[in-house]
Structure 1
């Protein structure tokens, strides 16, 4: 395998490609071995309530890092990062409404913005693959399917809403193994929140994800659902801050932090 394949790219090399506009798609399977993060960027006067929302809802919003002061564009503990350029695609919200998707936020940057980096399920996918499990979105080469549910989050200030989940199908024995593996990774969503009938958590049709791409689910497989870092986007829609930026679903911030550091042995 070539050293510049997606799997073997270093996080710094991948971020450089993203910064230069050479990669704008999802990051699943890239820079294997390293933590990928969901992103939420908010004005400072909204940051305390959002931090509390993350603390109250650690499964969908596991906090990995945040900026040390408003206006900082770097996240030193996570790598040599410029948060304005190093994510393949960003979503911009105004008063809770999604208004545009962009690949660079330098022109939108403000001195009062606070950055939150949240754990991502792409990190535990590596552990599932290492155990020989078929992670369907990876084997199909598509973005993981994500769905809005009726599972309520704990509110904090104006932030509230229902959880978003990601789904990967497994045979029953493999689903049990997936639970065992992911329990070791509480900083990147941990164990699944639901197995089986999607209607029980408010999902009507697995072939129509709210975000990402549909994957095949065989008759002898169970859909397995994990809390997803797109949940903050639902909370932003509810809270309606005047301005906010997130990652586009599947397009993550790839850090220099190793996945192994997040495992609980």
Structure 2
């Protein structure tokens, strides 16, 4: 079973932990912040932390674990990062090696977990303001694209920014910009809107990650910095092992989406 109603981050994590939910998390537990995951050996942790600090739009940090500790009490009281996401992607020397639903067989005492804010979190604000979020309505993952916008390097971590795209009527696009700008922990305001070619995207119907978007006539495409960016930076750094979330399969935290 991969879908269901979940009122909180705790409920989503429990469903992932016991195998009831293995699908993407967009639209789940509305009002709770979702996070991208990156797990690295501790030898890479300092450089990756600097990378996140230098690139707060694509990599707004929500939490960092102690080495070998699967809990992150600052963002969820019962988190076990080894089991609480629907699906994980494992990289070895920068190349995708396997996709798994838990990390029990892979966990190491030197692993440091980073949880990075996700644009799924501001979708709650859009839905509350009656702004259609079409990939949620269609039961799809959001479309994501590699751009020509370079991030600031830190040690071996660097590379182009990945963005997520949502299309809106012109009126709704303005409202989406205003609402998302109030949530810097969820990537904040967009990095671009309008012509995708201006940021190196040749064809919106061919996303690099996620699903093909549902774009209506007259829509304005709006692009937000995306937490897949740090995944791309990790691939460039080529650690012997790294673990991330499968695109769209996030950690749902206990942190509330704040619109202040």
TM over 0.5: yes
Q: Per the alignment, in what secondary structure is the counterpart of residue 105 of structure 2?
A: helix
Match of 1:247 in 2: 245
1:22 CA drift (Å): 1.2
Instruction: Name the Cα RMSD after superposition.
Output: 1.1
Match of 1:53 in 2: 51
1:130-169 alpha-carbon deviations (Å, 9 max, x no partner): 1111111111111111111111000000000000000000
**d(CA) in 2 for partners of 1:93 and 1:38?**
15
TM-score scaled by structure 2? 0.96
1:7 CA drift (Å): 4.5
Q: Per the alignment, in what secondary structure is the counterpart of residue 127 of structure 2?
A: helix
1:6 CA drift (Å): 3.9
Match of 1:90 in 2: 88
Match of 2:70 in 1: 73
Kept after mapping to 1: 8 A contact 2:6/2:12: no
Q: Higher mean Cα deviation, 11-20 or 187-196?
A: 11-20
Gaps of 5+ in 1: none
Q: Per the alignment, in what secondary structure is the counterpart of residue 39 of structure 2?
A: strand
Match of 2:121 in 1: 123
Kept after mapping to 2: 8 A contact 1:92/1:244: yes
**d(CA) in 2 for partners of 1:145 and 1:253?**
19
Kept after mapping to 2: 8 A contact 1:63/1:116: yes
1:92-116 alpha-carbon deviations (Å, 9 max, x no partner): 0111111111111111000000000
Q: Per the alignment, in what secondary structure is the counterpart of residue 148 of structure 1?
A: strand
1:38-63 alpha-carbon deviations (Å, 9 max, x no partner): 00000101000000000000000000
**d(CA) in 2 for partners of 1:30 and 1:237?**
28
Q: Which 4+ runs in 1 deviate beyond 2 A? A: 5-10
1:168-197 alpha-carbon deviations (Å, 9 max, x no partner): 001112111111111100011000001011
**d(CA) in 1 for partners of 2:4 and 2:200?**
35
Kept after mapping to 1: 8 A contact 2:27/2:136: yes
1:5-42 alpha-carbon deviations (Å, 9 max, x no partner): 84543221221111111111100111111011000000
1:187 aligned residue (178, 185, 188): 185
Gaps of 5+ in 2: none
TM-score scaled by structure 1? 0.95
1:203-214 equivalences in 2 (<5 Å)? 203-214=201-212
Match of 2:166 in 1: 168
Matched, 1:143 2:122: no
Match of 1:19 in 2: 17
Kept after mapping to 2: 8 A contact 1:7/1:29: no
Match of 1:200 in 2: 198
Match of 1:230 in 2: 228
**d(CA) in 2 for partners of 1:101 and 1:23?**
15
Q: Per the alignment, in what secondary structure is the counterpart of residue 74 of structure 2?
A: helix
Match of 2:218 in 1: 220
